[in-house]
Structure 1
């Protein structure tokens, strides 16, 4: 293991990623560092049919490839080291410098299952990765790796949460890629991702239409293709339009409720809210005031408004 040699890049099998844990392209700062000082930490290489496979240092390898380096300093792996030893070395070398990203942890577990089996992966490798030892979590995380690269890149860039990516597994590839367009285009926040996915999929099921067909409807496609409106505004437009598509009756009821509110001519300090989804019997009134006299004035104004026949019409909206 102490033998370090400069291996010609042409003799390295760069496509062999049997032990790779890291995901994605090398960071620009790593490329700049190597460009200025060279590779200070040798890669680990294993002889393979008169060539060499890299077993540790994949990002350094790809950074060197970007820089068109001719030789790479490599530490030659001893034959006594098993695949299990090399995988563990890779995992712990990465953990020594940083926390693994979700896809990297998933990749480490997938390789671990092949070498150590599920039981050891759950009991030893998952805790080492900072994860709760759980067979169901292992299954969910490794399943994500079966998704197309376009989806995986969204996860790696933190534009799609791994938990939400599980929804993609039940879909055809074409549907998965259609959904990718939303996340690449709008970059919705974590809390909104699940809502958008559920509404799109529900519209697809209800209308027996593909997800692509749902997203091609002008109400949605126009928002996605709009490159002039700020992203956050488009996210809210898309969310509202999708909600109208999924809940057409509810949206009509909400519009009717707003019309009735306007007829009451309430001041902004008094706000009426219906029960969620107009299910139940409890309306809520919110009154803002700064003094006892102001409160009495607001209550008097509200009492006059509530004598209106429009109030009964509001209750008629409930399911």
Structure 2
């Protein structure tokens, strides 16, 4: 890296230009305390641009210095002819050598390289040297995160939305994606349940020709999602049940009837009768928990209840 160290007025640093910004961390309190105590050990990296300077590396350091009311700071000034790809390499390395990059930072790194490399094979080498997955598959999967709304990026960083679900949401319009993003940030649930909820909500929205954002605001759904006194697991369970009923009314009715009939038999808890999935087909699963032949014999009257019920099983 070809540079010279020179003092620069903080006012001349264009911190609003995020061309080379990788970091997502905004809190510079701890860094300001460190700089205030021992000084700026690693000067930020800048590129001369007109009468000012573009930040290539060191956004947090500059913010910390500004918080300390420092009017000028030492900086590493790159040669004015430094190429965008060179600056991209420096920006990514300046961050990746300090810590593992989170998924938003990775996406910014990929997007930056793709913008600056313009088909050059050097882009792959820069990514690999930073310790990031360098396959086209990984890059194509993660890069869309860079263009996601800040709320969705924050949800990814929090772990409240899984990446595959976030990639689904950005296919929706902004309002609908925002409504689902807000939903998942209030719930604690995993990838499979998130996918199920997105599918159910999207299918109901399409069938009823109603935007997702309006669907989520309907009284029966809002009564669940907006209930601050309801624990998150209960919220998820009730929301799934409601959406399944809305999406598959016939299936829900059949399921409810089956469970009413089964409950009416008051079977011994050692007997379990499972219907076919989605009530498609006629194969039921009957399981018994027994310790002896005598126990099996004692359950015979219970099995007879199942056989005699006129509506529980198909003929």
One fold, TM greater than 0.5? yes
For each residue in 1:133-168, what CA deviation from the matched residue of structure 2 results, as whole angstroms up to 9, or x when unmatched?
12x543443333333222222223222222211212
Aligned to 1:313: 312
Aligned to 1:264: 265
Q: Quick one: structure 1 residues 68 and 260, their matched pair in 2 at CA, closer, same or farther if it must change by over 3 Å?
A: farther
Q: Quick one: structure 1 residues 90 and 270, their matched pair in 2 at CA, closer, same or farther if it must change by over 3 Å?
A: same
For each residue in 1:76-129, what CA deviation from the matched residue of structure 2 results, as whole angstroms up to 9, or x when unmatched?
223453221221122223222322222211111111112113463774355455
Unpaired segments ≥5 residues, structure 2: none
Q: Quick one: structure 1 residues 281 and 95, their matched pair in 2 at CA, closer, same or farther if it must change by over 3 Å?
A: same
Inter-partner Cα distance in structure 2 for 1:67 and 1:180: 36
User: In the alignment, is the contact (CA less than 8 A) between 2:161 and 2:181 conserved in 1?
Assistant: no
Q: Comparing 80-89 with 200-209, which one deviates more in the overlay?
A: 80-89
User: In the alignment, is the contact (CA less than 8 A) between 1:56 and 1:90 conserved in 2?
Assistant: yes
Unpaired segments ≥5 residues, structure 1: none
User: In the alignment, is the contact (CA less than 8 A) between 1:144 and 1:169 conserved in 2?
Assistant: no
Equivalent pairs counted in the alignment come to 313
Aligned to 1:283: 284
Q: CA deviation at 1:259?
A: 0.7
Equivalent residue runs for 1:212-227 within 5 Å: 212-227=213-228
Inter-partner Cα distance in structure 2 for 1:175 and 1:48: 40
Q: CA deviation at 1:193?
A: 1.5
Q: Quick one: structure 1 residues 31 and 314, their matched pair in 2 at CA, closer, same or farther if it must change by over 3 Å?
A: farther
User: In the alignment, is the contact (CA less than 8 A) between 1:109 and 1:125 conserved in 2?
Assistant: no
Q: CA deviation at 1:221?
A: 0.6
Inter-partner Cα distance in structure 1 for 2:205 and 2:179: 13
Inter-partner Cα distance in structure 2 for 1:279 and 1:31: 64
Aligned to 1:133: 135
Q: Quick one: structure 1 residues 255 and 34, their matched pair in 2 at CA, closer, same or farther if it must change by over 3 Å?
A: farther
Q: CA deviation at 1:252?
A: 1.0
1:304 aligns with 2:314: no
State TM-score, norm by structure 2: 0.88
User: In the alignment, is the contact (CA less than 8 A) between 1:26 and 1:62 conserved in 2?
Assistant: no
1:183 aligns with 2:187: no
Q: CA deviation at 1:43?
A: 0.8
Q: CA deviation at 1:208?
A: 0.7
Q: Comparing 12-21 with 225-234, which one deviates more in the overlay?
A: 225-234
